[in-house]
């Protein structure tokens, strides 16, 4: 700042202009080239407090208190990682090793993490969560959703959600991850717990309710009962659907107007039609297919049918232990038939849609000032230069964090 602020109010709301941006992804099609990415070349962004105040060509940027030179690099919206499982303890290296020697992935490995998570202290869970969040932030993630699902008792599920809720508003109750080992002989009893006492204890900390609808986890009728009970408590549904096999998850998600059907790896034409007819976003999680050596979801088929696609990490210790959205973008482009533009849109604006948010995932006046500065001339480099740590600056809510 060149002069000291006149009042405390002025101090709280200082303006910053980021200039000399070679290429700016706004995700506002009314700006720049008019594409879904709303790309502006030789751009500037003005931040006022925690919000974006202005975007446009550098030469037209208004005067502000502070100035940051982007050095001819690219700026994109911070990533919106709309699917992760970050409240856990323990490690599943052995299971990964076995898989890479040919063993198949199954939901059964979740039990290993449940045992470790139950045994962990609050402090350990908090430390782990903070570490993965920091890791994600360094890679450009500024909004994230995270789930319970490794406690599977009323106490342990509520504890996970309480810990998560001090870090994000996007907290998901996943008591229905698998049937708790304590109820191995009484799955109906577990569904009664998840829709009863456990839901009552968890709902105050959560915005969303989720269920793993899959063989070996919960069938269509159980999933409907769980999501409906959650809705009655004010939670909004999202579904782990059609990951390991064909099944009822996707169509149930659309029927209940879930914000998102996640995974979508095994889809019939009827599933694709259902997604295209509703507002449910298809959230694709290529880290899971990478780490389980499974077949890739077909993003091209979904996009061509008119389905909104989001891209997220699914970061969890079993099926996808990556916090890196750039890695998922590279996979999506290489193996899921997405263009680089589509993948970057899906990891930002798509994630926001999957969380039914419009204040994140775009760089436009009124949105939160959540931005990532890339050490590259354009967003395409996220796929073109896989594995390279290109994120060199991150602003979250207007504050430079990296
Ligand atoms: O999204 N599919 C279910 N849940 C996680 C995997 C959890 C685990 O293996 O620990 C997923 O892939
Ligand atoms: Fe998941």
Interface predicted TM-score (ipTM): 0.96
> Phi first, then psi: what are they for 144, rounded to 5°?
-145, 150
Question: Annotation-wise, does 316 bind a ligand?
Answer: yes
Say if CB 69 and CB 86 are below 8 A apart.
Answer: no
Mean pLDDT of 324-344: 98
Indicate which residue's Cα is closest to atom 8 of ligand 1. Answer: 318
Find out whether the beta carbon of 318 lies less than 6 Å from any atom of ligand 1.
yes
Average pLDDT of the chain to the nearest whole number: 96
Q: 315 Cβ partners below 8 Å, 6+ apart?
A: 81, 84, 85, 86, 132, 136, 287, 321, 322, 323
What is the 155 CA–ligand 1 centroid distance (Å)?
21
Find out whether the beta carbon of 144 lies less than 6 Å from any atom of ligand 1.
no
Mean pLDDT of 91-99: 96
Question: Annotation-wise, does 150 bind a ligand?
Answer: yes
**What pTM does this model have?**
0.96
Fold classified for 80-354 = TIM Barrel (3.20.20)
Find out whether the beta carbon of 291 lies less than 6 Å from any atom of ligand 1.
no
What is the 212 CA–ligand 2 centroid distance (Å)?
8
What is the 162 CA–ligand 1 centroid distance (Å)?
21
pLDDT band at 1 (very low <50, low <70, confident <90, very high): very low
Asked whether this chain's domains 8-78+361-400 and 80-354 adopt the same fold, the reply is: no
Residue whose pair of structure tokens reads 């001819």 in the numeric block: 72
Fold classified for 8-78+361-400 = Urease, subunit C; domain 1 (2.30.40)
pLDDT band at 216 (very low <50, low <70, confident <90, very high): very high
Find out whether the beta carbon of 316 lies less than 6 Å from any atom of ligand 1.
yes
Segments making up each domain of the chain, as ranges: 8-78+361-400, 80-354
Q: Counting atoms of ligand 1 from 1, which one is nearest the CA of 292? A: 12
Distance between CA atoms of 289 and 168, rounded to whole angstroms?
26
What is the 315 CA–ligand 1 centroid distance (Å)?
9
Q: Counting atoms of ligand 1 from 1, which one is nearest the CA of 83? A: 1
Distance between CA atoms of 190 and 192, rounded to whole angstroms?
5
């Amino acid at each position: 700042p060149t002069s000291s602020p006149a009042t405390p109010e002025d101090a709280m709301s200082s303006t910053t202009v980021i200039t000399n941006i070679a290429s700016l992804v706004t995700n506002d099609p009314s700006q720049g080239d008019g594409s879904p990415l709303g790309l502006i070349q030789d751009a500037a962004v003005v931040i006022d407090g925690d919000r974006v105040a202005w975007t446009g060509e550098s030469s037209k940027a208004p005067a502000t208190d502070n100035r940051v030179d982007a050095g001819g690099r690219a700026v994109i919206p911070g990533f919106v990682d709309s699917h992760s499982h970050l409240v856990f303890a323990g490690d599943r290296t052995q299971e990964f090793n076995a898989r890479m020697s040919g063993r198949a992935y199954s939901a059964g490995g979740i039990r290993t993490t449940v045992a470790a998570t139950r045994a962990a202290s609050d402090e350990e869970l908090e430390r782990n969560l903070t570490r993965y969040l920091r890791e994600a932030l360094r890679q450009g993630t500024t909004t994230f959703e995270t789930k319970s699902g490794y406690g599977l008792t009323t106490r342990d599920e509520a504890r996970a959600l309480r810990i998560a809720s001090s870090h994000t508003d996007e907290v998901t109750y996943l008591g229905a991850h698998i049937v708790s080992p304590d109820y191995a002989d009484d799955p109906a009893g577990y569904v009664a717990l998840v829709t009863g006492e456990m839901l009552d204890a968890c709902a105050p900390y959560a915005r969303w309710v989720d269920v793993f609808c899959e063989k070996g986890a919960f069938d269509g009728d159980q999933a409907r009962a769980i999501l409906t009970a959650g809705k009655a408590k004010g939670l909004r549904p999202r579904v782990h659907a059609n990951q390991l096999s064909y099944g009822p998850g996707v169509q149930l998600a659309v029927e209940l107007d879930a914000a998102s059907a996640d995974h979508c790896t095994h889809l019939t034409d009827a599933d694709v039609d259902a997604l295209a007819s509703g507002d449910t976003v298809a959230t694709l999680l290529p880290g899971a297919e990478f780490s389980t050596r499974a077949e890739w979801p077909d993003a091209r088929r979904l996009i061509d049918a008119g389905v909104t696609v989001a891209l997220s990490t699914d970061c969890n210790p079993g099926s996808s232990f990556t916090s890196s959205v750039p890695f998922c973008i590279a996979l999506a482009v290489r193996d899921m038939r997405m263009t680089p533009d589509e993948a970057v849109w899906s990891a930002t604006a798509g994630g926001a849609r999957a969380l039914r948010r419009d204040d994140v995932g775009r760089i436009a006046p009124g949105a939160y000032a959540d931005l990532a500065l890339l050490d590259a001339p354009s967003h395409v480099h996220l796929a073109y230069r896989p594995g390279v740590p290109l994120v060199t600056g991150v602003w979250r809510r207007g504050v430079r964090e990296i």
